Every structure is written in structure tokens, then in C-alpha cells.
Structure 1
Amino acid sequence: MAQVTGLSGNEIFCLAMKGFAPGELVVGNSVNSMGFLGSLGAGVSNILGGEVPQVTEAIHAGREAALERMTREAAERGAAGVAGVAGELRAFSGNTEFLFIGSCVHRQGAPKNLFTSAGDAQELYCAIDAGYEPVQHVFGNVAYSMGVGGGLLGSLKTLARGEIREFSDVFNLTRHAALDRAVALAKKDGANAVVGIRTIIERWAGTHEMLMSGTAAINRALPPQTFQSPVTSDLTGSELWAMTKLGYAPVKLLMSTSIYSLGFAGGFLAAFKSFVKGEINELTTMIHDAREIALARIKDEADGLGAQDVVGVKTYIAEIANGLVEFLAVGTAIRRTPGVAVATETLPAQAIIADKDTWIDGDFGFSLDRKP
């Protein structure tokens, strides 16, 4: 009988090289509501700012239930694992559906422990070839709010130019809390690494939720202490393979946020200058300073870890409100590690070719009012 799989041709090719055959799509979902008490508790927490535990717990429970149901369905189909696991959050009539979907993969012989892998099967191939055997899709989340108190304090501080540490601290705390929770799940599963970490921020129940998900894996070439403190990485599969080929292993995913204010006087001056063609020195300096602060924090943390480099650094900048600018820097600290190695000399083209989306535009892939 024909099988319906979410794996692309390139993914099927890569998995076949590791002894896996494609299987059916599997889905797990959970439709949840915060309820009156949960919403009331969240509202009180919002006044204080920071994490809103009621919302964090509600979202985590919904995601956990959906992931468990998807995994159970795969086990019933006799799968060795689930590749390309992706999670979504959808709103329906005031309720929220938590959804996990992936594709079963099969292997000859009875499966020992069914694994679930975040990211696509091309990344899975790269990770396995670099020595990272998948264990479980893991995620960490935190719902947070700046709070009325933080907002008032921040508004006062925007009168002066410089970093608003209260805002920076909230953003940095939430990002690291999400990562720490994903690592805790990996450690519970007996893994010593979380690779392929991806981050997304969504709005839910009047808060922001930060979600970090990746694949808990075991690489026995890593130092024994990593089973107590798993390494983390947001490198893509091919990047992880390349670093392993050069003898490096990830140490930790590093993140730093700087929330900066131009200040009332600077804002007025910048607005006045915007009527005149040319560089606005105040804005140039502000963005430069915010960037330097965030990058300096990453470097300091890397030095404290004994890392040799921070690679794959990505920077993001956005104006959030009232002349406040957020600058975020993210990268993976790496260190030369004896014993790490790849299984094959080169990656196949199928492991690095980006699959093109053949579903065109519009809400459902096409546009009814599209003119020829």
C-alpha cells in the first residue's frame, strides 16, 4: 500500500544512506483553554512583569500532550523514529490548538528506543554522521511580559540615553530560561547534547512566548561531564558536520540582548535632523553601542566557558516602542575536542540542497483573484 510521508526526495535519499526507510505522517494535537482562573492569574503577573508562570505552564502542557500523542502514534506504527518533527500553535474560537507533526522512519529489526528529531531529515543525516545519535525532540518555553511596573520605569528611563538594564535583564532572563528548560529535558532523557536549536517568539494570552526547540542527542566522543551539563548548539546540520570534521564540538548556545534608548533629547534632535538629507549621528551611535554591548556579553561568556570561538553569530535589531531598540546576538561557542569525528569523508549533495516550496502564494497555496 502507498504511504503518505512528509519527507522530501532529498530527505528520503539521506535517510536511506543511514539505513532508514520512509513511513507515514503522524500527528498529535491538544486543544486547550487558559480558563478563567488561569487568565486572572496571568493578569496579576503581568503587573509585576517578567515570566507569567500560568501561561508558561498552560502552553507547555499543551505542547507536551501533543508531542506525546504524536510519539505514541509512531510507536503504534512500529517506527524506529520520527523525523522532521515540527510544532505549531493555532488559535480557534478563543481556544488554542497545539500541534506536532512528523514522518515515521523505519529500520530493519525491532526498534530499541523510538527517537523524535526536530528539524528536517537532511539535518538529521548531518547530525548522525557527525556522531550525534538522536534521542528526543525537546523544547523549552517561557511566557513573559514587560509588566506595567517595568513599562513605567522604562518610560522614565527613555528620557536619558543609554541601555535600560531592566528591559535587557528581562529579555536575557527569558531567553536563558527557555534554553535551560530544553537542556533539563535532554538531561532527563540521558542525552549529552541538544543540537539544531531553533527559536521562535509568539503572542499568546496577552503575553509573549519564547520557544526553543531542538534534538536531544548522544555523542559519546564528548567529555563525560556533558552528561551532567549537555552542550547546546543552534548550528545547522551541515555547519555542525563541518565543525566536527575540523575537530570542534559545541559548548553552549550563547545569547545576549541589549535594550537601548536614544533618550528624549537625542530623539528630538534625530527627528529634527530627519528633515535634512544625511547621516543621523545619534541613531548611528545608539545602534552601534547596543550592538557592542550585546556582542561583548557573548564574548565574556565564551571566555568564561573556555571556548575558542563563537561561530554562526546572528544579529537581529528591532525598534520595540517609544524609541527603544532591541539588539540581539546569538551564536554557538565551540572548542576543539579530541575524538569527535564524522563518519563519511564528504556530505552528499542531497544533504545540503535546500528543498524548494512548490506550493505557491495565498492562504492555501494559491490566489483565487490572481490575474494571468
Structure 2
Amino acid sequence: MQFLGLGNGPYQTFSHGLSNPRSDLLSGVRYQIVPSMRGVPAAQLRLQFRRDASSITNPEMTLAVLLDRSGSMSEAFAEGHVYDVAQAILTHVLMAGSGYDLIFYDDQISDAGHIQNSADLRGAILRNGPRGGTYVTSALRHTIQKYKSRAGLYIIVITDGEFADKADVMQLVTQELLPQVKPESPYAFRLHFVGAGEGVDHVFLRQMEDAATGQGSPLVTAHHHAHLRHSHTDILAELDKAYVGVGASATVSESSPSSEPAISSIIDVTTRRIWPGASAPFGFLPRTTTLDLEYAPAHAQNLPVKINFTSAFHQPQEMTFQIPLPKPAPAPGSGGGSLLSRLHLPWNRSPEDDAARAAQQLERERVAALVKSNHDAELRRQSSDLQALASGGLPMQAIERLKEIGTNEASEILFTSNLAPEEAGLLRREGFHPRGIVTGSAVYHVGQAYASSQGDCEVTVLSEAYNEACRLAVGRMGHELKMINGHGVVGVRFSLVRHEWADKTIEVQVMGTAVEGPGRPPEQPWMCDLSGQEWYALRRAGYDPVAFVWGHCTWFLLTTQQDEWTHRSWNNVEMTHWSAGLSKARTRAMAHLNKQASAYGSNGVAGVKIERRLDEIRLSGPGEDPAYEREHHNIVVSILGTAIRARPNAPRHVTPTLNVLSLRDGRLTPIAMATPKDAVVE
């Protein structure tokens, strides 16, 4: 009933149960009056078929499972989350008489073939333990190329979302895969991301969902907590919408057609296919089927619907439903409606009111368009920032701020600096002026990994992760330095932290003062972690800093029986195994540092600092091994320094500096001060 311009439309807020005509096939039937995807009133019919009923798989699709085996998945493998998710999917599709193809990926691809039972799955997981980095783009392209002759492809990616190629994945999904899903090929592609383990990158998976939703495609549905048993039901429910079904050759139609059909169009909500008229040939009937049945304005009290299909055992099946519809609205001028709606009351709207309402509506539409424009611009900026960060660059807002600083002269800017006053004074004496603080940071997932249960070795996956995190942070500081037209950075402060609240990640931060010197900035600005006084001393000696260099090594120490005996000994004795491990880690870290310094053409490295950290780890694996009962360790050695190079015009001898003591305390009386001829008082 409408009253004073307000009223209840035909739509229903909640779904309602409907009489189940086939309890042997259906576990539930619900309906709801909703606006269809075209804005037309429709009766939405949701059918949930029983999981113990005979089922088939979609003949138009092939199921492939991509399993992330990178180092960051170590805990998910060890605690069984990966196996639980993969086994739940296998059990579900085996009920329909099908397995799936399993492909492992990290920085390489390992095709495990077709999995048809639990033994095959367990053996494949044991043979493909965690290792390497995470590059999912090549795995997706490999899978698409492998099955390009198939009509459709359903891919499930089990991962923690820690991709090294997130920008490439986003581009592949939004620009290459989404356009393939069209009304004429609704099952061309499905991509389902499953987050395994507790350390899942929720933000990136949600961005994938938003990208698919924004393009109006049912391509991506991500479940972020697949390590929880109850979430397996949600994952399997997605398979029931497109891959697992109850029959083929399905047809939806009006059960009692008349000269004027009540159903005007039929829409498959999952695939967004539209069939005009009162009949639709579905073909494959998913286990979870949702239909929008658009009906005519003039309609009967109930909407008669009939569904026919052929079951998995090739038996014809039929179901009929009577969906209650709201009363049709009275035709204009028919005299229908309530008494109040037919009275000419004084509060009826005037032409001026209608004009004001129209103006308000235009203003609301303008504001909505502006909000949408700003929202789209923000999404584009965030996507651009993600791509820039993935390639080691800077966010857009940081670039704009730095460009503004870079266009001003050093004397015109209000700079910030981490240098002490005397350091800034020494810089000015050499013609250098501070331009401001530049920074770089990277939060990198490194996880825990070991290389062998038989002996010591370098864990190259972790060594490379530490070195790559430093490269990203220092590279971003270098981008900032170039943006503000600096010649170099003095006083670089480096910190590498593993937080208690995120033990699997490291945070690398670098910060220093960008300085501007005489002439044009060099093509490759320099960086150094030397203080202002150290930099000044090097300049006077004829050296220039070239670059900030580093080296990291993670060395795995396998605790042996001899180590335990030595540890329990009453004698003072060197732990030779540990000393040798520390020496090897230091040697390899130094080799990486020297390799960097040589690449810059330097003469040496000054101000070298060595730090080390010890991480306790435990081993696990198939079978029984005494090593599984002991505590083992990863030694992480970090070496930092400044690569320096002698200038062509470096002096052959350095002018000495005369030290002068203060005698103002009164205990000493100066008589004379002798000054060497070549000394300079400073």
C-alpha cells in the first residue's frame, strides 16, 4: 500500500522456503522477489541439490589445481593445511567420478599429473616440498597453454598470496582472462584463489576479487582462511556453482504455458546468461543453481516453473514449482488502489515541488558521478602504486612530493637532516648543501626453510630474500635521491628487523641525508653510511664514496650427536662446528659485498660493519630420522659498508691536522705553540 508518496515495492528483503517437490534430489528450495540484473522484477529461484545424489562434472570444463610450494608456504605444508585443502577438493570431485590435474609452482613449474586418489595426492605433496620464490604468472600461462584445446578451464590456486609478480598476475587476470568470459562462453574460464595458512595476503586477494567484480564477471572468488576446516565448505560451494552438477540436457520452462506467458525472460545468475521468453536450454545443471525468472506486469498469483534434465545415470528427471508472486500494480486510471491514493488531498505535490525534486535528483546524480570518478581515480592510483612498488619504484604521491623539492634551489628549501651540526658544517666547507632526508623501506616475507637433513649448507632461498629486500629498500632511496636532484647521500642509517608480531617477515629501512654539490648531479648518485666527519676525511684524502654495499648469508647448521656431547662436556673446548659455520657464512656474505663493490669499480670498502643473528628451527619430513628430534640453527650474517674510489686528482700526501687542546681549566699555562710549516689549524 502506498501512502503519502511512500510505499512498499514488490521486492522482498529475505528469501523464503518453497515446497520441495523432490526431496530425493533437493536438499533445499528457496525463492525471493528481487530486481534482476536488468532492473526488472524477477522471482529468484535457488536450488540446492543433495551432495549424496548422483552427480557429474561439467563436460565443458577441465579442473586444474595449482599449488604454491614457495619457501613462504613451509608452515602451511608442515601443519597439513595444504594437504587438507587439496584432499577436500579431491574428495568432492571424486563423488562425481573425476579427479584433477595437480601442478606445483614456485620459481619453477612441476607437473604432478592427474590425481585420482589420496595416495597419489600425498605422494605428490611429499615429493614437492617448499622451496624458491613465488611466481604464479608463469604457472597460469603454463596451465592455459596445456589445456588450450579444452572448451573451458577451472583453475584453483592454493597459495598464501605472497607473489613476487603481483602486478603481472593482476594484468593477466584483468586484461587477458576476464575478457574471455562472455555470455556465449560462460564456462570459458574460472579462477579461484584459496588462501592456505594463517599468513595470507588478504589485501591482494581482495583486490583480485574487486577487479573481477568491477568488470562484471564471476571469475574470481577468494577464500582467505582455508586453513580452517569450516572454510572448506565455502570452497566446495564454488565448485558446485560451475563444475560439479547433477545432470545434463537441462531445460527450464513455464510448466503451464498460455497464450500470454507469465515468464518474460530467464537468467542464469551464476553465468549471467539471458534467454528471452519462457524457456531456456541450460545444458549442464550445477549442483547449486540460481535462476532469475522475470515476469510480466500482469500476472497470476503463482509463477509455474518446470525443470527437466537427464541425471548422471541417464534417467530423465522432472521438477515443478509454484512460486508465489506479489499482487500486480493497478493500471493507471483503473480506479484501483487505496482510498487515500485516489483523494485529491492538499499536500499533493505542485509543479514547483516536482521541479525541486528533479533538481535534487540531478544534484544527487552529479555527486554520485563525482564520487565514482574519485573512487575510480583512487583505484587507478593504487594499482599504479602496486605496479611501481613491485618493480622497485615509488608511489605516485611520493614522486610528486619529491619532484616539488627537486625543482627548488638548495637555498630556497627548508631541509631536514639526520646529520649533527658539525657534520653539516663540514659538508658546507666542501661546497655541499643538505637537500633533505631520503628513505627507502621494504617489508619482505622470508619464512623459515632448511636445505638438507644430512649436513650443513647455505640456505640460498633465505640469503637471496635478505639481499633482495635490501636491494628494494636501497633502490627506493636511490629513486628519491634522483627525484630531488641530489649528488649523494651521507650518513645512511640501516636497520633490519624481524618483529615478534610477524616472525616470518623482515623490515628493511634505510635513511640518510641527500646532499647537493657543485655542478650537475652525477648520472649515478653515490650513497655512504659514513658520518660527516668520516666523509670529510675521505674527501681530503682524495677518495669519493661510490655506493652503499651489503652482503647477507643464511647458513644452516645441522646439530649432530657430537655437538650435543660437546655442549654437555665439563671441559672448556671450542665448538668447532659452530666456528666453522660462522666463518663460512661470513665468507659468503663478504663475497657478495665484494662482488657489489667490484661492479661499481671501487678501490675498496670503508666502514665495514658485521652483524649476525641465530634462528632456532626444527626439521620435519617423511619417515623417522634422529635429526627431527634436535634443535638446529640458521646463522644469518649481514655485512655492510661503503664502496670508495680514489679520484684521478687525489693528492699524493695528505695534509696533517694539528690537534689543539683547551687549557681553560687553569691547571696548565701555555708557553708557546709550535706549528709545522705544512700544518693547517682547523
TM over 0.5: yes
TM-score normalised to structure 2 length: 0.33
1:172 Cα deviation (Å)?
A: 0.5
The corresponding residue for 1:10 is none
Query: 1:40 corresponds to which residue?
Result: 202
Partner of 2:588: 293
**In percent, how many aligned pairs have the same letter?**
23
Distance in 2 separating the partners of 1:116 and 1:336: 30
Shift of 1:212: 0.1
Q: 1:318 aligns with which of 584, 606, 613?
A: 613
Pair 1:119 & 2:425 matched: no
Aligned pairs for 1:58-97 within 5 A: none
Task: Please say if residues 450 and 459 of structure 2, whose CA atoms lie closer than 8 Å, have aligned partners that are also in contact.
Answer: no
Matched, 1:269 2:562: yes
1:331 aligned partner: 641
Aligned pair 1:243/2:538, yes or no? yes
Tell me the alpha carbon deviations over residues 152-208 of structure 1, each in whole angstroms, 9 at most, x when there is no partner.
Answer: xx2353653011110000000101211110011010101121111001234397343
The answer on whether the counterparts of 2:446 and 2:506 sit within 8 Å (CA) in structure 1 is no
State the Cα deviation string for residues 299-347 of structure 1 (Å, max 9, x = none).
2222222211111111111102320001111111101125689xx9969
Q: Does the aligned pair in 2 maintain the 1:158–1:324 contact within 8 Å?
A: no
Distance in 2 (alpha carbons) for counterparts of 1:348 and 1:339 = 27
1:183 aligns with 2:481: no
The whole-number CA distance in structure 1 between the counterparts of 2:555 and 2:205 is 27
Q: Report if the CA contact (8 A) 2:553-2:588 is conserved.
A: yes
AA of the residue aligned to 1:243? L
Higher helix share: 1
1-structure distance, mates of 2:493, 2:205: 29
Question: Cα RMSD over matched residues?
Answer: 3.9
1:156–1:290 distance in 2 versus 1, CA, 3 Å: closer
Alignment match, 1:11? none
Shift in CA distance, 345/189, structure 1 to aligned 2, threshold 3 Å: farther
| 2-structure distance, mates of 1:219, 1:235 | 17
Q: CA deviation at 1:209?
A: 1.7
Give the letter aligned to residue 441 of structure 2. Answer: N
User: How do 1:296-311 residues align onto structure 2 when only pairs under 5 Å count?
Assistant: 296-311=591-606
How far has the Cα of 1:296 moved from its partner? Answer: 1.8
Residues 158 and 264, structure 1, Cα contact 8 Å, conserved in 2: no
Distance 1:163 1:130, change over 3 A: farther
The amino acid across from 1:157 in the alignment is: S
Give, in whole Å, the separation in 2 of the partners of 1:116 and 1:200. 20
Measured at CA, do residues 43 and 171 of structure 1 come closer, stay the same or move farther in structure 2, by a change above 3 Å? farther
Name the SS of the counterpart of 2:568 in structure 1: coil
Cα distance change on mapping 1:270 and 1:124 into 2, 3 Å:
farther
Runs of 4+ in structure 1 deviating by more than 4 angstroms, as ranges, are: 338-341, 344-350
Deviations 1:96-119 (A, max 9, x none): xxxxxxxxxxxxxxx522222123
SS at match of 1:290: helix
- Structure 2 letter corresponding to 1:255: W
- TM (norm. structure 1) is 0.59
Structure 1: distance between partners of 2:482 and 2:553: 30
Q: CA deviation at 1:275?
A: 1.7
Q: How many Å separate the matches in 2 of 1:345 and 1:42?
A: 59
Matched residue, 2:24: none
Distance in 2 (alpha carbons) for counterparts of 1:184 and 1:345: 38
* Number of matched pairs: 252
Could you tell me which amino acid in structure 2 is paired with residue 161 of structure 1? D
Q: CA offsets, 1:52-100, max 9 Å, x none?
A: x79x89xx98x97xxx8xx99xxxxxxx99xxxxxxxxxxxxxxxxxxx
Q: For residues 26-47 of structure 1, give each alpha carbon's deviation from its aligned partner in whole angstroms, at most 9, with x where no partner exists.
A: xxxxxxxxxxxx9722799x99
Q: Distance in 1 between matches of 2:483 and 2:500?
A: 28
Q: Give, as a single letter, the amino acid of the residue that structure 2 aligns with 1:144.
A: Y
The residue aligned with 1:139 is: 439
- Unmatched tracts of structure 2, length 5 or more: 1-199, 207-223, 226-385, 618-632, 662-682
Kindly tell me: are residues 347 and 214 of structure 1, through their superposed partners in 2, closer, same or farther at Cα, counting changes over 3 Å? farther
- Residues 254, 158 of structure 1: alpha-carbon distance in 2 compared, 3 angstrom cutoff: farther
Q: 1:359 corresponds to which residue? A: none
Provide the secondary structure at the position in 1 that maps to 2:202: helix
Match of 1:9 in 2: none
**Is contact 2:451-2:458 (8 Å) kept?**
no
